[in-house]
Structure 1
Amino acid sequence: MARPPVKSNGKPTPRRNHVSKSRQVAPGALPSREDILDALANEPSVKGKRDLARVFGVRGDMRTPFKLLLRDMENEGLIARSRKTLRRAAELPSVTVLEIPTEADPEAMIAFPASWNEAEDGPRPLVNIETPKNARVAPAPGDRILARITSDEAMPPRYTGQAMKILDKPRSGHIGIVRMDDDGARLVPVDRKQKEMRIPQGDLGDAKDGDLVEVDVTLSGRLMLPRAKVTNVIGNPASEGAVSMIALHNLEIPYRFPDSVIAESEAVKDVGLKGREDWRDMPFVTIDPASAKDHDDAIYAEADTDPKNIGGHVVYVAIADVAAYVRPGSALDKEAYLRGNSVYFPDRVVPMLPERISNDLCSLREGENRPSMAVRMVFGSDGRKRDHSFHRVTIRSAAKLAYEQAQAAMDGKPDDVTAPLVTPILTPLWAAYGAMAAARDKRGPLDLDLPERKIILNEDGTVQRVHVPPRLEAHRLIEEMMIAANVCAAETLERQHMPLLYRVHDVPGREKLIALRDFLSSLKMSFSKSDAVRPTHFNEVLRKAKDSNKSEQVSEMVLRSQAQAEYSAENFGHFGLNLDRYAHFTSPIRRYADLIVHRALITALKLGKDGSNPEDAAGLPGIAQHISTTERRAMLAERETNDRLLAQYMAGHMGAKFEGRISGVTKSGLFVRLSDTGADGFIPASTLGSDYYRYVEEQQAMIGERTGERFQLGENVTVRLLEAAPVAGALRFELLSEGERVTPPGGRGGRRKPSFSRGKRRKK
């Protein structure tokens, strides 16, 4: 850098409008990005745009291009602005905490720094995540990781990160129930793994006994005991009858719509007839649970009049046209993606879309015009699909029916509503279903028909009763027609070479098949020795189990052997349904996956301008990962809420005896599911009996080392309720039944080292 001029007295002369020789650029030329960054880093006098212009001698006509250059550098993340001050954007340290977006592509994952001040440091830099094949840590979309960062010499630098550790996601706070006692207050955590904490005097805030609260946890005293401080009162589950609030907050499920989303939904206008086929004369009907508030699918069938398809059927399935109201990139769309799906509890529904959309504009109400995406399917007399086509239509539902109502009509007991519908509408529907069911049985999907219990609540939100609704033919009819429509969606998009989200269900893994074979062997039943299994192999063993009165045991183990269904941008078929290709099309009100499929069909078939864009395909793997996660989160929330409701109900039956069956076997004890309520409880291994009990994995059983007394998965048992923890949703039982006597393991147990539990004699 050139030295400032010196006066005759030897003191430096203050520099005014001096341009360093090293900073000078050719007349009419702009400085390079590197020169600007160097000046910001090494020239103390440079604070803003004017200083940079002075340093580089930018004058006259060059000022406008210079301003544009600085703006481009700011947009590129090279420089950061704070009011009128410019500086080089901050760079990432060599080791930092990163967050991988839930929508990131698993095949090309990107991440962002977890802590970054955009106002001071400029736009967040993007980090490409590399995971070598032999990596010890393999992160996934949605993970928070500690990563080692490297960068190149490019401007701006390109960052690459390798995960060193997957970190727990920070919670907004711990959740628990306030309980008052003689010493003040304590917090009962909803997480079963956490212990109770005291709430010091003055840290209770406005919370009262029984309130669900959010707390900060601090350590205090010489023993560093955890103390809770109430930061937010969420509500009182007991008084408000909303036990589901616990799961919503514990699993961080959004259940309040932002004002912007509500405002956008209220501003949406009804879609007219323009650009749609008019199908209002077709007598569609909706068949749903009696309590349903939204109706997203309607059906109609008729005999095929084509002389080439004698005895055939034409089935129409119309689905609410959510894509007409929820446009890509809108506030509604972003919120629907965030939620991924609706969540259903006994006491409430947390919808994916606001009521204005789900219960009004997109609900196929009786007697009202509704825009729909519809598929017309032609089936032969053998039930095999011959042809199909998709249409964007307007329908008017002729009737709203409940499953039980439609079934009663077809069983010869119609009511005032269904009596006029039996001949023109219901009979053709049942005839079409009969043919489709025959084709389904020939296809041979997995026939694992487990009972599904429904919790009925009182007005105060407590459990009134638990019952198993009968599995009606009306249920199967709707299910079969929805499956057929979903298959048509996948086939059409593949035919149009359109990327899509598949609903996939992988074949069972080899280890699970080995475990199933070992278990069935302990019951003296055989199973295919090949790893190339089909659903028919499982159906055969389920049939044999039913004939030998071992249905519950075998059904439980067959269920455990199955992979979990998920969403994927790649197709590997649906094993359970025994289908080569399958997509979700029929419930866009409550599943984001279906909305994605609707948009793809609109674009592929040129049915409007509100479909998907070609560039959206790159984001499908990330979307699939995200909505698979939200689906699992919803299932967990529903299960946790049911557990808490049932534990609350069972707390009034302490000491009572119940019949149940063993639903799980672990080294630490047995899980038992009660027959009447479906409530799950635990029996510690130490209380099983007066023997050493060994966990034998291949038999899914605990077996007494001396007596050979065996307690095996699926067996019926009698238990006594000893303890109930409603907040945690946990029950503890005492086993009263004797086990079956078998040959003791004698050290020859399973492939793994067995675990031992010293039992205590049961009290009869």
Structure 2
Amino acid sequence: MKDLILNYIKSDNYQPLDARELGNALKIKDSKLWTQYLKTLNELEYEGFIGLNKKDKYQTAEKLGIIKGTLDLKKQGFGFLMRDSEPPMPDVFIPRSAIGDASHKDYCLARITKRSDGVRYEGVIIRVLKRSLEQIVGEYFQGAIFPKNMNEDYLFKVKPQNRSGLIDHSIVKAKIVRYSPNKIFDCQIIEVLGHATDPGIEILEVIASHDLVIDFPKAVKDEVSKLPITVLESDLKDRIDLRNDIIFTIDGDDTKDIDDAISIKKLPNQNYELGVHIADVSYYVREGTELDKEALKRGTSVYLADRVIPMLPRELSNGICSLNPNVDRLTISCIMEINPSGTIVNYQILPTVIHSFAQMTYKKVNKILDSDAALIQAYQPLVKSISLMNELAKILNQLRSQNGSINFETIEPKIIFDENGKVKDITIKERGVSEGIIEEFMLIANQTIAAHFDKVELPFIYRIHETPDKEKIEGLFTFARGIGYPIKMPKVLSQKHLQELLLKVEDTKFEKVINMMMLRSMAKAKYSEHNLGHYGLAFEDYTHFTSPIRRYPDTTVHRLIRTYLFEKKTDQRTLNHVASIMPDIASETSKAERKAMIAEREVLDMKKAEFMMGKEGEIFEGVISTLTRFGMFIELPNTVEGLVHISSFKEAMEFIEEKMTYLGIASRKEYTIGMVVKAKLLGVNPLKGQVDFELVE
């Protein structure tokens, strides 16, 4: 019905009609259809596709100057509506009097009221279509809720009739039930999470504020209870039996959800046969089941310092799907023949069953590669495979580097807890040779799967990374020239140009700032139904196939492999169905990934701040990690980062943005990113994850 109405109103010969005239023109006579027609007409108007002119007759939104966009609300009360349009159109100024009850980042419907010069527009908000803020989590005190990281100047009130049983300093989750132009919002309590002094309440607050869910619904648990806990004989039908092959896993010391296993051998023609065997999650998580719906809703597992919120129930993630040692497990295998130059000359994608020989760890494999005699003796049957893996991974890494793959240096912290759950220490996760081996093998498997489905032109989901922002890259090269590196911005930028710049600054005081600026110029990687390539990796084709226990896109890839290759379903009905659901899966899982990353970073910052408690007044050595107009951030060797606010500087400072430098007005001393400095700890706020330093001469 929507398409019927819209297509008619958008037609070239359409003249504005009222509701009755339009209904007659569409030949809607049946009373039930007429009711549906009026309902659909109202929906189209509410959603901003059509509107009424001054004569109460319907026209398209475009002809009436009705637009949609996201509101950028300024502190002064006015705002700008950032329009949804292709090609991009100028933002629309919304005066304070025309904002209504819309809030910052609300998705709004608006009408243009003034135009000037063809580039300046003014408008009025008609209604909010999607609220950016629907729920809040914070501390309740005397009738109001105070979220800890709320930048906007809002007051969240709980009406007296909804305060029954509430205790001051409770941490609560609430729904906003009434918005108002004066930024005083009425809220209704959804859940009381605990008291502000309860152990672990800060992490529960993060979980609730990001709308993460710990427990699985009863319907999901009921489905899981009916799944087998071991591989059945009936599960082996049409599977290739690899249970006698030397296949094993390599993971971190405390990994419980094991997605991937590896096998390798040298062929008579001196090529390598690399097998990447991935848990066949889609065999157990069938499309449309309650388990599948919940997995899509979660999108990813979330790792929060001392706990995991899994995408799948533990019966699957740690049980029947996990490639644990000495048990049969169902897998989908990508078996690749790779020549000594690193080129894939042949591959197979197969349904398989494996029996992992051992659960190896990165530490053990690294020690074996370092000739640890005791471990070599203990794992003698695997030593040849480990040596071949190292050999092949070096070839693959060299080839990837030659093709322009960009390697950013990143340091990953590990939080060590005591028996009471308090932070005892923060160490740096070691990255040895074996971590690089697994990374290379996962990359080439993901690349092979993506290339296969791109070649056969079937609807699919890809992991994409688009080209960097041109202006930011130009700023990067300008900055590089300003600090003494005579490098020109190429007319056609390739990954190799960025590689060259990273090599020029390697092991210099400018390495960190160039890395940081280059990272910030990059687009965010995301999922898409379109194969746009992966710029950072310099891959034309890329997807995520190797972690279906913890990422829903990988589960989707497995499901498509099963549908297209194993079940041979490529009929038009199947293709139409897949094509129709891929955009939403790509969009929702990209959002879930970003949400998980923000929550993980928030908890990590809180735990780092907790570790610094009681150390106030101590002096630490660190490096300047970021420079801003309001101060500089100092990063300690254990990755704890704190702010030196501009107000704490001992002398007046000038911020030279084009050189990313602070210059002391009197001393003429320069402070740049990567510079080693000493700083005194002034204070810590573990609930907000904030650490404050001041520079020490």
TM over 0.5: yes
Q: Output the CA distance in 2 between the equivalents of 1:199 and 1:166.
A: 23
Q: Is the 8 A contact 1:392 1:607 kept in 2?
A: no
Match of 2:256, as an amino acid? K
Give 1:545 deviation, angstroms. 1.9
**Counterpart for residue 294 of structure 1:** 257
**Counterpart for residue 210 of structure 2:** 251
Whether 2:484 is the aligned partner of 1:524: answer yes
**Counterpart for residue 618 of structure 2:** 656
Report the secondary structure of 2:42's partner residue.
coil
Identity %: 28
Give 1:226 deviation, angstroms. 8.7
**Counterpart for residue 189 of structure 1:** 147
**Counterpart for residue 176 of structure 1:** 138
Match of 1:684, as an amino acid? H
Q: Output the CA distance in 2 between the equivalents of 1:605 and 1:466.
A: 46
**Counterpart for residue 686 of structure 2:** 726
Q: Output the CA distance in 1 between the equivalents of 2:168 and 2:364.
A: 45
Match of 1:452, as an amino acid? E
Of residues 409, 420, 430, the one that matches 1:460 is: 420
Whether 2:636 is the aligned partner of 1:636: answer no
Q: Output the CA distance in 2 between the equivalents of 1:208 and 1:456.
A: 34
Give 1:639 deviation, angstroms. 0.6
Of residues 500, 524, 528, the one that matches 1:540 is: 500
Q: Size of the alignment, in residue pairs? A: 606
Give 1:663 deviation, angstroms. 2.2
Alignment of 1:102-113 (within 5 A): none
Report the secondary structure of 2:614's partner residue.
helix
Report the secondary structure of 2:566's partner residue.
coil
**Counterpart for residue 59 of structure 2:** none
Give 1:197 deviation, angstroms. 8.5
Whether 2:627 is the aligned partner of 1:668: answer no
**Counterpart for residue 431 of structure 2:** 471
Q: Is the 8 A contact 1:493 1:600 kept in 2?
A: no
Of residues 644, 647, 662, the one that matches 1:683 is: 644
Whether 2:296 is the aligned partner of 1:337: answer yes
Q: Output the CA distance in 1 between the equivalents of 2:499 and 2:533.
A: 19
Q: Output the CA distance in 2 between the equivalents of 1:144 and 1:687.
A: 36
Runs of at least 5 residues in structure 1 that lack an aligned partner in the other structure: 1-31, 38-69, 80-87, 100-110, 113-128, 150-161, 738-764
Of residues 575, 583, 591, the one that matches 1:614 is: 575
Q: Deviations over 1:172-197 (max 9, x none)?
A: 54322468xxxx89865322526898
Of residues 226, 235, 245, the one that matches 1:267 is: 226
**Counterpart for residue 350 of structure 2:** 391
Alignment of 1:284-363 (within 5 A): 284-305=247-268, 309=269, 311-363=270-322
Report the secondary structure of 2:236's partner residue.
coil
Q: Is the 8 A contact 1:323 1:610 kept in 2?
A: no
Whether 2:689 is the aligned partner of 1:717: answer no
Q: Output the CA distance in 1 between the equivalents of 2:564 and 2:686.
A: 51
**Counterpart for residue 370 of structure 1:** 329
Deviates more, 1:230-239 or 1:580-589: 230-239
Q: Output the CA distance in 2 between the equivalents of 1:417 and 1:238.
A: 52
Match of 1:92, as an amino acid? N
Q: Deviations over 1:481-514 (max 9, x none)?
A: 0101001101111222212111111222211112
Whether 2:40 is the aligned partner of 1:78: answer no
**Counterpart for residue 212 of structure 1:** 171
Q: Deviations over 1:103-137 (max 9, x none)?
A: xxxxxxxx99xxxxxxxxxxxxxxxx984645457
Q: Is the 8 A contact 1:188 1:727 kept in 2?
A: no
Match of 1:669, as an amino acid? G
Runs of at least 5 residues in structure 2 that lack an aligned partner in the other structure: 1-25, 50-66, 69-82, 93-104, 112-123
Report the secondary structure of 1:318's partner residue.
strand
Deviates more, 1:647-656 or 1:273-282: 647-656
**Counterpart for residue 426 of structure 1:** 386
Q: Output the CA distance in 2 between the equivalents of 1:446 and 1:224.
A: 46
Q: 1:572 to 1:588 in 2, by over 3 A?
A: same
Please provide the CA RMSD for this pair: 3.6
Greater radius of gyration (CA): 1
Q: Output the CA distance in 1 between the equivalents of 2:48 and 2:598.
A: 27
Q: Output the CA distance in 2 between the equivalents of 1:163 and 1:567.
A: 33
**Counterpart for residue 481 of structure 1:** 441
Give 1:610 deviation, angstroms. 12
Q: Is the 8 A contact 2:473 2:518 kept in 1?
A: no
Q: Output the CA distance in 2 between the equivalents of 1:686 and 1:594.
A: 48
Give 1:214 deviation, angstroms. 2.4
Q: 1:328 to 1:434 in 2, by over 3 A?
A: same
**Counterpart for residue 92 of structure 1:** 42
Q: Deviations over 1:125-151 (max 9, x none)?
A: xxxx9846454579xxxx9633369xx
Q: Deviations over 1:659-699 (max 9, x none)?
A: 222222222222222223x22222222332332x3433221
Q: Output the CA distance in 1 between the equivalents of 2:403 and 2:476.
A: 23
Tell me the TM-score normalised to structure 1 length: 0.72
Q: Output the CA distance in 2 between the equivalents of 1:224 and 1:36.
A: 47
Report the secondary structure of 1:652's partner residue.
coil
Give 1:201 deviation, angstroms. 10
Q: Output the CA distance in 2 between the equivalents of 1:680 and 1:206.
A: 40
Give 1:376 deviation, angstroms. 0.8
Q: Is the 8 A contact 1:241 1:347 kept in 2?
A: no
Give 1:238 deviation, angstroms. 6.1
Report the secondary structure of 2:137's partner residue.
strand
Q: Is the 8 A contact 1:300 1:316 kept in 2?
A: yes
Q: Output the CA distance in 2 between the equivalents of 1:342 and 1:674.
A: 29
Give 1:165 deviation, angstroms. 7.4
Q: Is the 8 A contact 2:376 2:383 kept in 1?
A: no
Match of 2:259, as an amino acid? D
Q: Deviations over 1:562-589 (max 9, x none)?
A: 2221112222221211111111111111
Report the secondary structure of 1:619's partner residue.
helix
Report the secondary structure of 1:78's partner residue.
helix
Whether 2:668 is the aligned partner of 1:696: answer no
Q: Output the CA distance in 2 between the equivalents of 1:194 and 1:462.
A: 32
**Counterpart for residue 609 of structure 2:** 647
Q: Is the 8 A contact 2:644 2:694 kept in 1?
A: yes
Tell me the TM-score normalised to structure 2 length: 0.78
Q: 1:202 to 1:656 in 2, by over 3 A?
A: farther
Q: Is the 8 A contact 1:556 1:714 kept in 2?
A: no
Match of 1:625, as an amino acid? S
Match of 1:639, as an amino acid? R
Q: Is the 8 A contact 1:199 1:228 kept in 2?
A: yes
Q: 1:225 to 1:681 in 2, by over 3 A?
A: same
Q: Output the CA distance in 1 between the equivalents of 2:460 and 2:126.
A: 33
Q: 1:283 to 1:525 in 2, by over 3 A?
A: same
Q: Output the CA distance in 1 between the equivalents of 2:36 and 2:144.
A: 51
Q: Output the CA distance in 2 between the equivalents of 1:736 and 1:168.
A: 48
